[in-house]
Amino acid sequence: MEFELLGPVGVRHVPITSAQQRSILAVLLLEAGRVVSVDRLVDLLWDGDHMPRRARNVVQVNVSALRRKLGPARCLTHKPPGYVLQVPRPQIDLHHFRAQVTTIRSTATDPGVRARMLRRALDIWQGDPLADADAPGLAPVRRALAEERLAVLEECLAAESHTGLCTQSIAELRVLVAAHPLRERLSALLMLALYRGGRPADALQVFHDTRRALADETGTEPGPELRAVYEQVLRHDPVLEQPGRPAIADRPGWAEPGISR
């Protein structure tokens, strides 16, 4: 991929040192093939309190500099009322990732194969999305992309739970549950991994910790999936020892994050 959004924003072999230019590039890549108006770029780059007096001129200067860096072959052109970046979507790492995941979901029926392929797709990520594009208007997009990655990682871990490999994911799952204490699916996966690793008491503690976090933060009780795993651990249900059982259901799919218009 030539264009990178899944980590620091960049273009292969083209250094983009200006933070504003990186943010503009991120917006144009997210909207690749569509015209982005100058007004939208202004709104995304600055909040009202910090907008420069000549914001539109600042955008135009940065776009001109970005166009020179990208070169004519990159097809960053002016098209009223703004600009459009015409690049093939497969050259953008975000779209390459999504295409891989879509293919995996439609073709990889074996859980082991599915898990390995999802891991390879997740390797496309180089860090937090839009890591160095700090425009205020991109914050919701960063959160949505991070959620998208987490959902695919959950799907990968669920596939691994079908293969008997989930005990190898205990350390990873502990980190994820600590970072996302309200995500019941991650807690259920950790409980399953701990139980299969011979640690039923630890598995039950995960449930109680998650239940307490949900009560404190949202005033709700655990949902049926997490409660079902808890009850199976309590009674040492033999079905939990069967790797092929779909202990944690797959829930594929995401809403593609966009930029509010």
Domain boundaries, the chain: 1-160, 165-242
**Contact present, 146 and 128 (Cβ < 8 Å):** yes
CA distances from 219 to 16, 181, 186, 216, 235 (A): 46, 14, 19, 6, 27
Per-residue pLDDT reduced to its tens digit, 147-178? 999 999 999 999 999 887 777 899 999 999 99
Q: What would the two tokens of residue 97 be?
A: 């990732």
The whole-number pLDDT of residue 166 equals 73
Count of residues making up the chain: 261
Amino acid identity of residue 251, one-letter, is R
- Torsion from C-alpha of 33, 37, 38, 39, nearest 10 degrees: -150
**Contact present, 161 and 173 (Cβ < 8 Å):** no
The whole-number pLDDT of residue 239 equals 86
1-160: in CATH 1.10.10.10: yes
Q: Which residues are CB-neighbours of 168 under 8 A, at least 6 positions away?
A: 160
The whole-number pLDDT of residue 254 equals 37
Per-residue model confidence as pLDDT tens for the chain (261 residues):
699 999 999 998 899 999 999 999 999 999 999 999 999 999 999 987 678 889 999 999 999 999 999 987 668 999 999 999 999 999 999 999 999 999 999 999 999 999 999 999 999 999 999 999 999 999 999 999 999 999 999 999 999 998 877 778 999 999 999 999 999 999 999 999 999 999 999 999 999 999 999 999 999 999 999 999 999 999 999 988 876 555 555 555 434 445 554
Surface-to-core class of residue 199, CB atoms within 10 Å of its CB (0-12 exposed, 13-18 middle, 19+ buried): middle
Q: In what order do the strands lie in the sheet with 82-85?
A: 36-37, 82-85, 76-79
Cα 128 to Cα 173: distance, rounded to the nearest angstrom = 18
Per-residue pLDDT reduced to its tens digit, 7-43? 999 998 899 999 999 999 999 999 999 999 999 999 9
**Contact present, 40 and 82 (Cβ < 8 Å):** yes
CATH fold group of domain 165-242? 1.25.40
Cα 219 to Cα 149: distance, rounded to the nearest angstrom = 27
In 3D, which of 201, 196, 206, 203 has the Cα closest to residue 167?
196
Cα 201 to Cα 203: distance, rounded to the nearest angstrom = 5
**Contact present, 36 and 28 (Cβ < 8 Å):** yes
